Structure 1
Amino acid sequence: MKTLLYIVLVLISFSVTAQKPVVNSAKLEEIKSYLKHFEDNDALLGSVSVFENDKELLNQSFGAIPASRTTKYQVGSISKMFTAVLIGQLVEEHKMDLNEPLATYFPKMPGASSIKLSNLLNHTSGLQNFVVKQDSLKYWLKKPVSQQAILDEIARQGVAFQPGDSISYSNSGYYLLTRILEQKYKKPYETILEERITRPFGLENTFSLNGKTEYEDTAISYEKKDNKWVKLEEFYFPNVQGVGDIISTLSDLNSFMSALFNNEILKEETLKRMLPKDDDWFGLGIMKAPFYNHIAYGHGGDTYGTHTVTSYHPESKLGITYVINGEGYPTNNFAIGLLSIIYDKDYSLPELTEYTPDKLYYDAYTGTYSSPELPIAITVYQKEGALMAQGEGQSPFTLTPKSKHTFAYLKAGIHITFDPDAETFLFKQGGQQFELKKK
């Protein structure tokens, strides 16, 4: 549930008729082999669940940290979809109107008289992002913060545009929706979620974190440092209640999506209203998730260290949920491979095997490099036998040897190839490349 929205997997659409995927036993075994490849190379920690016709066909965890079918994960902004569904229930019951102005509930908020509840749901309100303060306190929500302090920060940030003029992903909008639900029900959010969704629909391992209750078998986030998985400090999740605080199992998330698209939680006309229209990515709390010519719906969620996507393909009744809580390889690239198996697209297993380098070259690699094409210099240095790199003003990262003179930081898709004689290196990332020369 970071400021940046998770990357929706978008590949080129082809003008052919979409075939319904068939998740047969051979395909399930291929998925298991795919996951084992990452586990064997200690590249990722995570889990995958696949539903078809409302039945779970696969629930597989992988990686060095054990997890089970009942392990609960921090699912980040998928929480927003639960919040949106709770709003949808009130609309169906004629207890709320999406054309109501925000001023009905928060009259002192910037733009309150012109912002509608529908603008909050589809990120067109102009409200910004309380999760990141626009000052030195970038990670201010790692410790408990009062509701009033958060509301003050939302008001302080103001609006970036007039409602409906643009789209900008807004955590602030969903924080206000959460508080509006509490005003309507006169109950805390976690109680509303339990009474209206998790208990009636059998989601036994899905909870909103209120800071008072601890839940067993809850996964934590990890990052890889010096080839070891270490715990990553996360949000204090009650600060982002209804926005990014929910914990759940993958089975529960797929069950939720099945119930939602089977019109068990909301009426068919309500759900249709919530789905993205035409070329829009955002609906009213539900996002479009295309893969080639297959259109699924769902949401993604990012915390500081856990990355989750849940999606449902209505035509095939196929539900796919995956989570990565230890990222040593780009999550988006992992997801492309997984979906390629399911949708019968070509893919290749990524090269994850580490190369044993000749460390005699390390002294020649070290130094500060720059390029007129890049705004920052990059310093390469040694630490405890490893080669490190650090962009000016950025965090350092470990370079993993891949071949002679070539190193990678797979989490960010970075590849660096040194030329010791020329005292340069070629920097590649995201389809771009730059040559940097040692100062």
Structure 2
Amino acid sequence: MKKLLFSSLFFLIISNGFAQNFNSKRLDSLFQLLDKNNKYMGSIAVSENGKIIYSNAIGYDDIATSKKSDAQTKYRIGSISKMFTASLIFKAIEEKKLNLNQTIDKYFPTVKNSNKITISNLLNHRSGIYNFTSDKNYAEWQTQYQSKEKMIERISSGEIVFEPDTKGEYSNSNYVLLTFIIEAVYKKSYSEILNQKIIKHLQLKNTYYGGKINLDTKECNSYTFSGEWKKSTETDLSIPQGAGALVSNPTDLTIFIKNLFAGKIISLENVTLMKTIKDKYGMGMFEYPYFERKSYGHSGGIDGFRSLLSYFEKEKLAVALTSNGLNYDLNNIVLCALSSYFNKPFEMPNFEKVTLKTEILDQYLGTYASLEIPLKITITKKEASLMAQATGQSAFPLEANSTTVFKFDQAGVVLEFKASEKQMTLNQGGKEFLFTKE
């Protein structure tokens, strides 16, 4: 549910392509490189008009027992769950159980501004409700069961971020509350409603509301990389609810989004509402521009899991990635998949490491500021490596690619130094920013 450092989704311009020319060897080569260099554990599926044209899986469900992952492995998908929840809300609207403009005070009288906040405001993150995952004490209770009453109490106790419908700002609290509204109108658990309205209808065999991770049912643990893969904490899924508690795999996700955009879950009129963007947010969707083209979908992150689901309406192309260990920019894997479909250039990553003498590293130490973005980056040294820390972010390690170029592959960050001019260039997502040492 938390975003990656410097997270962004940036796509190259594309032209017409055809599935029969899909460059599977290119993606195979990338996955081999990622696997060999401990950069990614996870799975991908690419479908065109509902037919899988590429799939792959690398890594382990469980490193301790060397249990390898395959196409059947199931992952926690984090905030992609919001697309399912938004679909269920629109299903309830179509069944005359809700309407977009009704306020939520009937359900949550203790939530501040509940008499002004509408269902619509929750869906497109315009409620102003405090995001509970931003709680400074969140890490102390994220692995413990939380009752519905306790979650409402935690959300209600947060301060108002802004007045309803005056702006958009992402908040997981919105979709936890939407979950409870769905349960209230159907008088069933979210899991039961999800199964009835979406999972059974689409025959999704690997999608459900998650619980404790169970390796025996082809679920997987998640990991972070710090010299080696280390098992991540496991969020108790009573907390994220319909904001991030679902389990699935890429094949199921492509089936879901293809049917959503075909009007097989909710009406096409309501799909249009879902994809209508206001201040960066749709109703359970983001818009990902391809210059003259657009795709729609959602990303996800919970513990060490990362995921992405995106759909191109004209081509009926769906791309789904799930990961239980990421030490590389997920966006670059998407770019490789898209370049393989649309026959565009793609440069394979170079993971060769360079060891530098400490006096070379010393000349880059300091704090850098940019006139282009309101962000400062402080460069420090830890043992024989550089560390970078952006304003308000945690420090992250840099790998030397040459004497002047350093990378943080997990977020697709490249820093290039010019010590003589006291300058540093940040490259990420195809964009470049100049920084000067203070």
TM-score w.r.t. structure 1 length? 0.85
Structure 1 range deviating more: 319-328 or 74-83: 319-328
Q: Distance in 2 between matches of 1:434 and 1:119?
A: 38
8 Å contact from structure 1 (residues 337, 347) kept in 2: yes
Q: Which amino acid aligns with 1:255?
A: I
Q: Which amino acid aligns with 1:100?
A: Q
Structure 1 range deviating more: 137-146 or 318-327: 137-146
> Aligned pair 1:46/2:42, yes or no?
yes
Structure 1 range deviating more: 69-78 or 211-220: 211-220
Aligned partner of residue 239 in structure 1, secondary structure? coil
Cα displacement string for residues 381-409 of structure 1 (whole angstroms, at most 9, x for unaligned residues) = 32xxx535364997554442322465433
> Aligned pair 1:129/2:131, yes or no?
yes
Cα displacement string for residues 326-350 of structure 1 (whole angstroms, at most 9, x for unaligned residues) = 2222222332333233233332112
Counterpart of 2:65 in structure 1 is none
8 Å contact from structure 1 (residues 132, 140) kept in 2: no
Cα displacement string for residues 154-177 of structure 1 (whole angstroms, at most 9, x for unaligned residues) = 112232222221111121111100
8 Å contact from structure 2 (residues 124, 282) kept in 1: yes
Q: Distance in 2 between matches of 1:31 and 1:4?
A: 23
Counterpart of 2:111 in structure 1 is 109
Counterpart of 2:233 in structure 1 is 233
Counterpart of 1:389 in structure 2 is 387
8 Å contact from structure 1 (residues 6, 300) kept in 2: no
Cα displacement string for residues 272-323 of structure 1 (whole angstroms, at most 9, x for unaligned residues) = 232215x764322222222232222221112232221112222111111112
Q: Distance in 1 between matches of 2:433 and 2:213?
A: 47
Q: Distance in 2 between matches of 1:410 and 1:255?
A: 30
Cα displacement string for residues 39-67 of structure 1 (whole angstroms, at most 9, x for unaligned residues) = 23332222210111111111111347732
Q: Distance in 1 between matches of 2:120 and 2:301?
A: 23
Structure 1 residues without counterparts, runs of 5 or longer: none
8 Å contact from structure 1 (residues 9, 291) kept in 2: no
5 Å-filtered alignment, 1:20-419, equals 20-63=16-59, 66-133=68-135, 135-138=136-139, 140-211=141-212, 216-226=217-227, 228-276=228-276, 281-355=280-354, 357=355, 361-362=357-358, 365=361, 369-371=365-367, 373=369, 377-382=378-383, 387=385, 389=387, 391=389, 395=394, 397-404=396-403, 406-412=405-411, 413-415=413-415
8 Å contact from structure 1 (residues 367, 381) kept in 2: no
C-alpha displacement of 1:377: 5.0
Cα displacement string for residues 166-197 of structure 1 (whole angstroms, at most 9, x for unaligned residues) = 11112111110001111112222112111221
Q: Which amino acid aligns with 1:291?
A: Y
Distance 1:11 1:74, change over 3 A: same
Q: Which amino acid aligns with 2:20?
A: N
Distance 1:417 1:140, change over 3 A: farther
Distance 1:429 1:270, change over 3 A: closer
Alignment size in residue pairs: 422
Aligned partner of residue 156 in structure 2, secondary structure? helix
Structure 1 range deviating more: 296-305 or 135-144: 135-144
Structure 2 residues without counterparts, runs of 5 or longer: 62-67, 370-374
Q: Which amino acid aligns with 1:112?
A: S
Mark the structure with the bigger radius of gyration: 1
8 Å contact from structure 1 (residues 128, 158) kept in 2: yes
Q: Which amino acid aligns with 1:94?
A: K
Q: What is the aligned-residue RMSD (CA, Å)?
A: 3.2
Aligned partner of residue 97 in structure 1, secondary structure? coil
Aligned partner of residue 324 in structure 1, secondary structure? strand
Q: Distance in 2 between matches of 1:93 and 1:372?
A: 56
C-alpha displacement of 1:26: 4.5
Structure 1 range deviating more: 258-267 or 79-88: 258-267
Percent identity over the alignment is: 30
Q: Which amino acid aligns with 2:187?
A: K
Q: Distance in 2 between matches of 1:183 and 1:6?
A: 38
Q: Distance in 2 between matches of 1:196 and 1:210?
A: 20
Distance 1:293 1:426, change over 3 A: closer
Q: Distance in 2 between matches of 1:410 and 1:299?
A: 21
TM-score w.r.t. structure 2 length? 0.85
8 Å contact from structure 1 (residues 185, 192) kept in 2: yes
Distance 1:349 1:199, change over 3 A: same
C-alpha displacement of 1:258: 1.6
Q: Distance in 2 between matches of 1:376 and 1:27?
A: 38
Distance 1:377 1:84, change over 3 A: closer
Distance 1:289 1:395, change over 3 A: closer
